[in-house]
A and B are shown apart, each in its own frame.
Chain A
Amino acid sequence: MLAISRNQKLLQPGEENQVLELLIHRDGEFQELMKLALHQGKIHHEMQVLEKEVEKRDSDIQQLQKQLKEAEQILATAVYQAKEKLKSIEKARKGAISSEEIIKYAHRISASNAVCAPLTWVPGDPRRPYPTDLEMRSGLLGQMNNPSTNGVNGHLPGDALAAGRLPDVLAPQYPWQSNDMSMNMLPPNHSNDFLLEPPGHNKENEDDVEVMSTDSSSSSSDSD
């Protein structure tokens, strides 16, 4: 409505006033806009100041974060090492044995020449650092096979268990077959089933000890 046609060159007198009024109106609007612009400029300036503040705070926070992280790492290391120490303390405590017991045990194993050769040992001596055939046969394990079958086996030396059929061996109990155990000193695993294989395995496992006792009649002896 206020648009003035450019083709109109001649202004009629009534229209001059209109144009002037329009001009004044426009000028007023410009003034308003200028004020607005000034105001916005101030606001913009404030915004910038605030942004700078925000940046400063941000960098502060980051700094704190770094420090916290370092502290956390140091503490974590300290805690870890403390835990390791505790573990080793626990382990040491678990393995603690009274010195008296150790000495007693040391006496036991040395007295029978089990770990140290007798001072008079010469290469012909039958004594050995392990249980010999004779000792093995005369133990409970050796006697386990039924003593009824007599003299089936001609090869005695070196054939430990199969030749447990020696009913006449009245050898004394050797201390390595100790009987002086307390009641609660039981072997841990009560199950006799050592076959953990699926059905592919056809060997029956009746008693784990009997697996050891061989039912092979003739066996070649190995010289001792």
Chain B
Amino acid sequence: MAAAVAMETDDAGNRVRFQLELEFVQCLANPNYLNFLAQRGYFKDKAFVNYLKYLLYWKEPEYAKYLKYPQCLHMLELLQYEHFRKELVNAQCAKFIDEQQILHWQHYSRKRMRLQQALAEQQQQNNTSGK
């Protein structure tokens, strides 16, 4: 009985921990947040670095399927390198990453727009040649 109760509280704790770690690992996709952490010296803390290494479990498919922002995994991988962590202290580094991320984010919509434009032009040509 006591064991069951203990298990329950343990499970609840685990659930909370799961959600917290899920949120935190996705926050790592935000380069401004990474800059924030870097400037406050979190990346110099060995325990924090170990924690980042521990968070790599989110790469497994059974865990990754809960991620809404899978880009965070790439940032997590980069964060394993000390050089990257050191670079993140600069605001320009974070800004650059941010810009590139947004540009990449728009990649598909740009592609689609181009396709649509090409299609529209083709249709126009067909119309003019048909007439």
Question: Which A residues form the contact surface with B (CB < 8 A)?
Answer: 95, 97, 101, 105, 108-109, 112, 114-119, 121, 128-133, 136, 139-141, 144, 158-160, 174-179, 181, 183, 185-190, 194-197, 201, 203, 205, 208-209, 211-212, 214, 216, 219-220, 222, 224
Q: Is the CB of A158 within 8 A of B36?
A: yes
Nearest CB of chain B from residue A162's CB, rounded to whole Å: 9
Nearest CB of chain A from residue B111's CB, rounded to whole Å: 10
**Which DSSP category, helix, strand, loop or mixed, fits chain B's interface?**
helix
| A-B contacts, CB under 8 A, total | 159
Q: Is the CB of A195 within 8 A of B50?
A: yes
B16, B57, B94: which contacts A189 (Cβ < 8 A)?
A: B57
Nearest CB of chain B from residue A113's CB, rounded to whole Å: 8
Known: A131-B26, A158-B32, A177-B23. A187 touches B105 (CB 8 A): no
Nearest CB of chain B from residue A191's CB, rounded to whole Å: 9
Interface hits, B9-36 → A, CB 8 Å: 11, 14-24, 26-27, 29-33, 35-36
A129, A197, A211: which contacts B29 (Cβ < 8 A)?
A: A129
Q: Is the CB of A130 within 8 A of B72?
A: yes
Looking across the interface, which residue of chain B has its beta carbon closest to that of A118?
Answer: B109
- 8 new A-B contacts, CB < 8 A, other than A109-B70, A129-B29, A136-B30, are A101-B65, A115-B69, A130-B30, A160-B36, A186-B17, A197-B46, A201-B47, A219-B40
Q: Is the CB of B45 within 8 A of A119?
A: no
Q: Is the CB of B22 within 8 A of A178?
A: yes
For this complex, 18 residue pairs linking A to B, each with C-beta atoms less than 8 Å apart, are: A117-B105, A117-B109, A129-B29, A129-B71, A129-B101, A130-B69, A131-B26, A131-B69, A141-B20, A159-B36, A176-B67, A177-B22, A178-B66, A189-B54, A208-B51, A209-B20, A211-B47, A211-B48
